[in-house]
A and B are shown apart, each in its own frame.
Chain A
């Protein structure tokens, strides 16, 4: 798994690539918790994820809950059909703001 981060105004965009599973979800948790600091909105690009399991979903839920504690907006975008399916199977998609594109996710429109 690889992650990269860049800021656009007071929005931080984190891109996740590769496999997110038991061996990598801990690392993702650290990255996301760190990325929540000092920004108004954190958006996660899921488009590069090849494989996601329930530990990856759990990590995203933990990051969402942490964002609520720090009053940081939190959104996901670019979900592939494979990733969407894991969200469907875990019945948690409704708790996230999900967008198709980065532009939408950064702007927060049409959630």
Chain B
């Protein structure tokens, strides 16, 4: 059953909110949930893997760059079905990213770092960062399958 069927029966849009510590041990838990969620919404296996990877890369960036691998930072992840997109909002209260380093790596570079933000931009339809007070917010969206197919 895909989301369009589920929505036509319930009229309720999906929303789930997670709060997790900046401990990489929790990344597989979130990946598992996002993967299942994307499968329910009808994305192909390949798309499910890519979306899950992009969300994981965004969380990894928070752990690595906002909290410098400290496991005691707080991360919020909200996955919310909107009119035509699935929105993934990731918030943290760590350090602001260095804007000069976001996507600064050339795509064909052989450097070992800086690939996560490229993956996010390649996979998601939109990815917007904003700093609000002491918090970082990354909003990523992916068009829902029925929107892409014009159903």
Contact, CB under 8 Å: B119 / A54: yes
Q: How many A-B pairs fall under 8 Å by CB?
A: 60
| Main DSSP-derived SS at the B contact region | helix
Q: B122 within 8 Å of A by Cβ? A: yes
Contact, CB under 8 Å: A21 / B24: yes
Q: B50 within 8 Å of A by Cβ? A: yes
Q: How far is it, in angstroms, between the C-alpha of A58 and the C-alpha of B64 when the chains are bound?
A: 14
Contact, CB under 8 Å: A22 / B27: yes
Q: A73 within 8 Å of B by Cβ? A: no
Q: How far is it, in angstroms, between the C-alpha of A28 and the C-alpha of B119 when the chains are bound?
A: 22
Q: A57 within 8 Å of B by Cβ? A: yes
Contact, CB under 8 Å: A86 / B60: no
Q: Are A58 and B27 also in contact (CB < 8 A) when A21-B60, A85-B50, A89-B50 are?
A: no
Contact, CB under 8 Å: B116 / A54: yes
Q: B143 within 8 Å of A by Cβ? A: no
B110 in complex: contacting residue of A21, A89, A92, CB < 8 Å: A92
Chain B residues within an 8 Å CB radius of A53: 53, 56-57, 60, 116
Interface size class of B (residues with CB under 8 A): 20 to 34
Question: Taking CB as reference atom, which chain A residue is nearest B107?
Answer: A91
Question: Taking CB as reference atom, which chain A residue is nearest B27?
Answer: A21
Question: Taking CB as reference atom, which chain B residue is nearest A18?
Answer: B28
Q: B25 within 8 Å of A by Cβ? A: yes
Q: B118 within 8 Å of A by Cβ? A: yes
Q: A95 within 8 Å of B by Cβ? A: yes
Sorted from nearest, which 8 A-B pairs have the closest CB atoms? A23-B24, A54-B115, A58-B112, A61-B112, A22-B24, A90-B115, A54-B116, A22-B60
